[in-house]
Amino acid sequence: MRKPLVFILIVILVFCLTISAQEQEEEGEEIFAQRRQSMVLNQLKSRDIVDSKVLQAMLTVPRHKFVDEHIRESAYNDYPLAIGEGQTISQPYIVALMTQLLELKGNEKVLEVGTGSGYQAAVLAEIVKEVYTVEIYESLSKKSEKLLTDLGYRNIKFKVGDGYYGWEEYAPYDAIIVTCAPDHVPPPLLQQIKEDGGRIVIPVGGIWMVQTLMKIEKAGGQIKSKGIIGVRFVPMIGHNR
């Protein structure tokens, strides 16, 4: 065969392979979008998630991109998943419930303790103006920063450090969400919410005990707290343990 002809055939072959890979990826995304819809319907709306901003965010964020390839198929199932370093990404319902408890309107500044995979940070970033997120493992923080940047989020700031101390530099926050469990509410977090209307959603309890998901509110400088449900989170490490 003449050289130019071989060259043209190779170009056509590469072109066809690229198109078919692209089609496969689009089909895959379509399937994940369907799973996301049924997750919202069957795991969130069917329970007590009614905040339309939360439902919309859960419908939008591609949860399957926050877990390793080999467990992608389970990304939208009704349970937590491993994300490396012995850590987990919470069950979709718990992410939605905690976000709903923050009672967000859209213009808030929110601090998250425990970046992990970055999934909860993405859900928050869909709803509010600014998200600040602290993670104690550098590897997890860097990985989620890259992913969230690639996904186009521009309203999230990342810090590697012990979230027991919050992130003083940008305080006060309208709301703080903690996604690992300390055995008491860290006093620095209480100091870093707004005096009027600041709130914290946090699981509290020892490693071997059932933890309680708490909602804490500050009004006129006074603290009110209430228990919501029993939960099981990875322990807060660092200063707390």
Is 192 an interacting residue with respect to ligand SAH (CB under 6 A)?
no
Is 211 an interacting residue with respect to ligand SAH (CB under 6 A)?
no
Is 179 an interacting residue with respect to ligand SAH (CB under 6 A)?
yes
Q: Give the whole-angstrom CA distance, residue 61 versus residue 33.
A: 10
Q: Give the whole-angstrom CA distance, residue 107 versus residue 194.
A: 14
Q: Give the whole-angstrom CA distance, residue 215 versus residue 226.
A: 5
| Sign of the dihedral through C-alpha 55, 61, 63, 66 | negative
Residue with tokens 């994300």: 83
Is 236 an interacting residue with respect to ligand SAH (CB under 6 A)?
yes
Phi, psi (degrees; rounded to nearest 5) at 21: -65, -40
Is 176 an interacting residue with respect to ligand SAH (CB under 6 A)?
no
Residues 53, 100 contacting (CB under 8 angstroms): no
Helices (H) and strands (E) in the chain, counts: 6, 9
> How far from chain centre, in Å, is Cα 179?
9
Minimal distance, residue 195 CB to ligand SAH, in Å:
24
Beta strand 109-113 with 130-135: parallel, antiparallel or unpaired?
parallel
| Binding residues for ligand SAH restricted to 23-42, rule: CB under 6 A | none
Q: Which stretch binds ligand SAH (CB under 6 A): 47-55, 87-95, 149-157, 216-224?
A: 87-95
Is 162 an interacting residue with respect to ligand SAH (CB under 6 A)?
yes
Active site residue 144: no
Beta-carbon contacts of residue 105 (< 8 Å; ≥ 6 apart) = none
Minimal distance, residue 130 CB to ligand SAH, in Å:
17
Minimal distance, residue 21 CB to ligand SAH, in Å:
29
# residues contacting ligand SAH (CB under 6 A): 25
Residue 139: exposure state from Cβ atoms within 10 A (0-12, 13-18, ≥19): exposed
| Binding residues for ligand SAH restricted to 88-147, rule: CB under 6 A | 88-90, 113-114, 116-117, 119-120, 134-137, 140
Q: Which is nearer to ligand SAH, 197 or 235 (CB)?
A: 235
Is 76 an interacting residue with respect to ligand SAH (CB under 6 A)?
no
Task: Work out which of 61, 180, 193, 214 binds ligand SAH, going by CB under 6 A.
Answer: 180
Which parts of this chain interact with ligand SAH (CB under 6 A)? 83, 87-90, 113-114, 116-117, 119-120, 134-137, 140, 162-164, 179-180, 234, 236-238
Hey, which residues are catalytic here?
90
